Chain A
Amino acid sequence: MPERVILSGNEAIARGAYEAGVLLASAYPGTPSTEILENVSQYEDIYSEWAPNEKVAMEVGVGSSIAGARTLVAMKHVGVNVAADPLFTLSYTGVGGGLVLVTADDPAMHSSQNEQDNRNYGKFAKIPVIEPSDSQEAKDFVALALELSEKFDTPVLYRTTTRVSHSKSLVSLAERKVSDRKPQLEKNVPKYTMLPGFARQKHPLIEERIKKLAAYAEDCPFNRVEMADTKIGVITNGITYQYVKEALPEASVLKLGMTYPLPAQLIKDFASRVDQIYVIEELDPFFEEQIRLMGVDVAHGKDLFSICGEFSPQLIREKVAGSRLSLQPAAEGLPARPPAFCPGCSHRGIFTILKKLKVFVSGDIGCYTLGALPPIQALHSCVCMGASIGMAHGMSHVIDPGDDLTQKTVAVIGDSTFFHSGMTGLLNSVYNKGVSVVMILDNRTTGMTGGQENPGTGKTISGEDTIAADIPAMAKSFGISEVVSLDPYNLKDIEDTLRAELAKPELSVIVVQAPCVLRYRISKPALKVDVEKCTGCKRCLQVSCNALGLVETEEKSYVEIDPNLCVGCTVCAQVCKFDAIS
């Protein structure tokens, strides 16, 4: 009997890559995809790396595939926007070794800035889309997708959602199988050189390929009909399949594991065997629209089920069967518990001063985005990875702030995000004579996703020593004459430096180098509050540290510091006007 283990969807994808003989895997971290490469890197037989961004990860994958190696590339949904350029033309060149691009979508936006449905990329780039519904499939579909990739000479878009990536279920393991064909470079210019003349020859072949894939879909291992009662037939995919099975055990189900291109005949046959067709899919009406175009009479789809957010068994029961559980109301008025800067985080002091100065902070994606939340509320925009510098540049060119600090812009970006795509924004701002202040908060890790290595940390994904990219030297090489540094645990230094740089009529770059206290477990003795001196003014509470708490007794209110949480960073002590914290 094969060994059975419990794996998350992401762990299972990594295992699938191992079993399917993948030789190279590349990714940029991003929730909910991060654990895929973290787990792939545990298999010594696979060369794996963190790329500085998703486009590079994709390009590394394209190279590996052209060289004949089975390849896996992974990213979160918005990462595919970054990688789209190579992806769309890879669709034209086709592959050497099989190539699977995993996109981990995030319905309900548990950790994302938008809710885009990346299945649309399959249709857009004219490549097949595969969707597993549990960890066993997450593993098995990797090998099947690689075979599909090789058979049809196409990259395969392998789409998960948060609930597939981050849910665990039982998986039967198999041995690793590696192709006998060793990677080798073969010069095939018409295939791999997309000059217009060659690309024009390719496009009709791509259209032909999609038709062949649709024929393949009619009888492929990804799609499955489960006939039961014929009153209701549900066409569904991914995690929604599990919800449907839970909510409607009587219903017949067409489970689509390959959601692009669709098996038209299979769908029509299924529809003819049931009284009513329900199409139930999270996010966009991706296959519903195509199924309606086939002329299938769909009784219900997005008229009942929202385009926004996640589903649940209860939601499906309610919409289809009209049954409701008698629910107790949730307790009201409870204080929210949002994530916050960790005690000792080097971002706290910086945002405390940015708030005081009332400047416009053009933010970016990382832990520092939490600076937008109460009580700090000192980050005023955040759009996508690397955007902060370009956005601040754009603002500064249409605003004449004079001495009005509220009209001045400070871009705030972390080290990993700077390497990802902030570098080009900075180069642009130097080149085009920007006047904003750019703060690069270098905490020597990719923090928000749990502390991954990046080009600045001096380590690779497998823990090997490598270069640590020097951000001040990079900024200087772009043409910044003086790169300023400051101590993020010294509020006076932060304020003096920022005021001086904001007064300059030119682009200013401040690089703050302070390692992440969480990742590197940095700790000094905990501080204490002198209850006699504390007046309960709550000023220290405004720095938003979970180690601080207000105690209210009948005699007085005062602040207490939890010695288990405090790491002695002293930011709270520096804002105290009564010298009560030491």
Chain B
Amino acid sequence: MKTINILLAGVGGQGVLLASQILTRVAMAAGLDVKQSEVHGMSQRGGSVTSHVRFGDKVYSPTIDDGAADFVLGFERLEALRNAHCVASDGKILYNTMRINPSTVASGVATYPEGIETTIKDYARDVIAIDGLGLAKQAGNVKSANTVMVGAISSFLPFDDALWAAQLREILPAKLVDLNLKAFELGKKAVAG
């Protein structure tokens, strides 16, 4: 199969890396070659975080070229816009509409851009806004917004539901499994619309 490139973008502390882990584990369980790349260190402490996930028959580079992401999965709307140009011409952007102020905005040095929901539509034919925070609250915990986003993208990936559920069960602590299964379902339904 053709290699699928997913660029995840969010804010340190949002669980971007856990979401990447779920995606890579599912692809691996499906028998595919997988690579994932992230940069951490300075990206903790509330900085921007991106993670590259690639899977297919044979994957060489762990990073995705600009303009080659089949999916940009944004966990926060400013970070989604910051990485929107990475999407391929026939790719999709799925993003969580929630807002997290960068320190530059919090301290009044910069302002948070208005109208991201409109601007971002210029980057791809399919741009899907998801109320990740609202759905996570509905699932029972705001911190499950990352799993909501994984649920959303799962609609477009060639993996069975059982595979996703099995990996969620394996990766997460037992007490968080039900909550995250619910978050996953809500994300998936949000896209099915």
Residues of A in contact with B (beta carbons under 8 Å apart): 4, 6, 31-32, 110-111, 134, 162-163, 166-170, 239, 242-243, 245-246, 312-314, 325-331, 333-342, 367, 370, 373-375, 448-450, 538, 541-550, 564
**Cross-chain contact A325 with B61 (CB below 8 angstroms):** no
Is there contact, CB below 8 Å, between B44 and A338?
Answer: no
* A-side contacts of B183, CB under 8 Å: none
Question: Which of B17-60 touch A at CB < 8 Å?
Answer: 24-25, 28, 33-48, 59-60
Contact of A335 among B47, B85, B104 (CB under 8 A): B104
Is B67 at the interface (CB under 8 A from chain A)?
A: yes
B155 within 8 A of A: no
Please indicate the chain B residues that have their CB under 8 angstroms from the CB of A166 in the complex: 37-40
Q: Smallest distance from the beta carbon of A457 to chain B beta carbons, Å?
A: 19
Contacts of A243 in B (CB 8 A): 60-61
Asked if B62 and A375 make an inter-chain contact with CB atoms under 8 angstroms apart, the answer reads no
Bits for B99-117, please: 1 = Cβ < 8 Å to A, else 0.
0111111111111110000
Q: Are B47 and A339 in contact (CB under 8 A)?
A: yes
Interface size class of B (residues with CB under 8 A): 35 or more
A246 to B61, CA, bound (A): 6
Would B142 and A564 count as touching, CB distance under 8 A?
A: yes
Stretch of B76-84, B156-164, B174-182 on the interface side: B76-84
- Minimal Cβ-Cβ distance residue in A for B47: A339
A-B contact pairs, 20 of them (CB 8 A): A6-B25, A31-B40, A110-B39, A163-B37, A169-B59, A325-B65, A325-B66, A325-B68, A326-B67, A327-B66, A327-B67, A331-B84, A337-B104, A339-B42, A340-B45, A374-B109, A541-B106, A542-B108, A546-B46, A550-B108
A242 and B107 contact, CB distance less than 8 A: no
Chain A, Cβ-Cβ closest to B113: A334
What chain A residues lie within 8 Å of B107 (beta carbons)?
374-375, 541-544, 548
Bound together, the chains give a CA A338 to CA B101 distance in angstroms of: 11
- Give the complex CA separation of A475 and B30 in angstroms: 58
Report yes or no: A449 in contact with B41, Cβ–Cβ below 8 A. yes
The one of A4, A111, A168 in contact with B41, judged by C-beta atoms closer than 8 angstroms, is A111
Q: Which residues of B contact A (CB under 8 A)?
A: 11-12, 24-25, 28, 33-48, 59-63, 65-68, 78-79, 81-82, 84-85, 87, 89, 100-113, 119, 123, 142
Secondary structure call for the A interface: loop
The distance from the CB of B48 to the nearest CB of chain A, in whole angstroms, is 4
Task: Report A567 CB to chain B, min CB distance, Å.
Answer: 13
Would you call A338 and B104 a contact (CB within 8 A)? yes
A328 surroundings in chain B (CB, below 8 A): 67, 84-85, 87, 123
Closest chain B residue, CB of each to CB of A373: B103
A331 to B45, CA, bound (A): 24
Cβ contact within 8 Å between A546 and B44: no
**Alpha-carbon separation in the docked complex, A168 to B37 (Å):** 6
